[in-house]
């Protein structure tokens, strides 16, 4: 089990939504929190509200994430929990995507997690008590849907990174572990993520953020509820932190198709 009380946690994408919900719950359970986000004004306000230490970061830039690690160590002397949560989620069909669209999505959603693991894993491994990494993926990691191709590509990548990292850490007998957070429908600002797209990466066909549509009929969680799921997963060292276990039939349908294919080609 991974302790939370008295530990220092870093949460990216923490100014709002799931990141803020996780940060709130970590603080409620006694952790010191470094809140990191690219939106400075929102970050400052949220950090002041919950009592966190704010650091502006652009997770798509490795040097910015390295500076985040330095700032966390300078303020608290150690880091024990890292939540690589920052992400964006515009929609577009694959045939309509520009290379700029792909580059931006991958830089934030996948490279952002890679940068976080690269910067913080050695720090956690240096702790006598180890630590824990939580990487935010999505239910799209298990059951991708039309219109979410680029998003699903990045989230599949985050899932693979986290699963392999966890397996390697267990193999080594490390005191560091990793959990994959796979949220479903949560009330966040991801529907407005295009506002953070840099001008240098504009000009593609990502012109629609994730909207409601049929999703309006689903069960929606508040970010703090996700925070409680995450801290439980950290304490119990769960491989997966799931917000919508009732969505298993969607995942099972894909798994059954894969299973049937294995049987078909075994003939």
Which class for 249: exposed (0-12), middle (13-18), buried (19 or more C-beta within 10 A)? exposed
Given pLDDT bands bounded at 50, 70 and 90, which one contains residue 215? Answer: low
Domain assignment present for residue 3? The answer is no
The whole-number average pLDDT for the span 39-63 is 98
Domain, as residue range, for 16: 8-266
Is the pLDDT assigned to residue 137 strictly greater than 50? yes
The helix/strand/coil state of 203 is coil
How many independent structural domains does the chain possess?
Answer: 1
Q: Is residue 1 in a domain?
A: no
Domain membership of residue 201 (yes or no) is yes
> Looking at the domain assignment, is residue 205 inside a domain?
yes
Sign of CA dihedral 109, 197, 199, 36: negative
Q: Where are the beta strands (DSSP E) in 70-175?
A: 81-84, 90-91, 131-136
| C-alpha count within 13 angstroms, C-beta hemisphere, residue 5 | 1
Domain membership flag for residue 31: yes
- The share of the chain scoring above pLDDT 90, in percent, equals 80
151 classed as catalytic: yes
Q: What is the pLDDT of residues 110-125, one digit of tens each?
A: 999 999 999 999 999 9
Q: Is the pLDDT of residue 22 over 90?
A: yes
Q: Would you say residue 2 lies in a domain? A: no
Question: What CATH number does the domain containing 55 carry?
Answer: 3.40.50.720
Residue 242 is inside which H or E element, if any? strand 240-242
Entry pTM: 0.89
151, 227, 229, 234: which one is catalytic?
151
pLDDT of 257? 95
The DSSP secondary structure of 22-36, one letter per residue, reads HHHHHHHTT-EEEEE
| pLDDT above 50: residue 11 | yes
pLDDT at 197: 53
């Amino acid at each position: 089990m991974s302790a939370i009380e008295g530990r220092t946690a870093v949460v990216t994408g923490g100014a709002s939504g799931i990141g803020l919900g996780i940060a709130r719950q970590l603080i409620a359970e006694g952790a010191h929190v470094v809140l990191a986000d690219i939106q400075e004004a929102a970050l400052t306000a949220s950090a002041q509200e919950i009592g966190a230490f704010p650091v502006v970061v652009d997770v798509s830039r490795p040097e910015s994430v390295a500076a985040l690690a330095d700032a966390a160590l300078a303020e608290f002397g150690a880091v024990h929990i890292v939540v690589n949560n920052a992400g964006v989620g515009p929609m577009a069909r694959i045939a309509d995507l520009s290379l700029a669209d792909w580059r931006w999505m991958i830089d934030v959603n996948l490279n952002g997690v890679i940068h976080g693991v690269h910067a913080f894993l050695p720090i956690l491994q240096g702790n006598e008590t180890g630590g824990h990494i939580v990487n935010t993926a999505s239910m799209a990691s298990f059951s991708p849907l039309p219109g979410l191709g680029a998003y699903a590509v990045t989230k599949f990548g985050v899932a693979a990174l986290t699963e392999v990292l966890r397996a390697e850490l267990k193999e080594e007998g490390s005191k560091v572990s990793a959990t994959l957070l796979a949220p479903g429908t949560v009330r966040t600002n991801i529907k407005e993520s295009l506002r953070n797209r840099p001008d240098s990466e504009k000009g593609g066909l990502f012109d629609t953020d994730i909207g409601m549509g049929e999703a309006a009929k689903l069960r929606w969680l508040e970010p703090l509820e996700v925070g409680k799921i995450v801290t439980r997963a950290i304490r119990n060292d769960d491989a997966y932190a799931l917000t919508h276990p009732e969505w298993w039939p969607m995942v099972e349908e894909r798994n059954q198709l894969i299973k049937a294919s294995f049987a078909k080609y075994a003939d």
